[in-house]
Chain A
Amino acid sequence: MTKIRTLYEKLWDSHVVAELPGGDSLLYIDRQILHEVSSPQAFVAMRDSGRQLRRPETHIAVADHAVPTRNRHGAIEDLQARAQVAELETNVAEFSVPYAALEGSEQGIVHVIGPETGFTLPGTTIVCGDSHTTTHGAFGALAFGIGASEQGTVMAAQVLPQARAKTMKVELVGQLAPHVDAKDIALALIARIGAHGAVGHAVEYAGPAVSAMSMAQRMTLCNMTIEAGSRIGIVAPDETTFAYLKGRRLAPDGARWDAAVTYWRTLASDAGATFDKTVTLDLAAIEPQVSWGTSPNQTLPIGAAVPDPATIADATVRRETEKALAYMGLTPGQKLEDVAIDHVFIGSCTNGRIEDLRAAAAVVRGRKVASGVKAIIVPGSAATRAAAEGEGLDRVFTDAGFEWRFAGCSMCVAMNDDRLAPGQRCASTSNRNFEGRQGAGGRTHLVSPAMAAAAAVTGHLADVRKLV
Chain B
Amino acid sequence: MTETTTPDLVTPTWDYAPAPEARDIVRLSSSYGLFIDGAFVDTLDGGALKTVNPATEEVLAEVAEAGAKDIDRAVAAARRAFTEVWGPMPGRERAKYLYRIARLIQERAREFAVLESLDNGKPIRESRDVDVPLAAAHFFHHAGWADKLAHAGYGPDPRPLGVAAQVIPWNFPLLMAAWKIAPALATGNTVVLKPAETTPLSALLLAEVVQQAELPPGVVNIVTGAGETGAALVGHPDVDKVAFTGSTEVGKAIQRQIAGTRKKLTLELGGKAANVVFDDAPIDQAVEGIVNGIFFNQGHVCCAGSRLLVQESVETEVLERLKARLATLRLGDPLDKNTDIGAINSAQQLAKITELAASGEQEGAQRWSPESCVLPERGYWFAPTVFTGVAQSHRIAREEIFGPVLSVLSFRTPQEALDKANNTPFGLSAGVWTEKGSRILWMAQRLRAGVVWANTFNRFDPTSPFGGYKESGFGREGGRQGLAAYLDLEVDA
A joins B in a complex: no
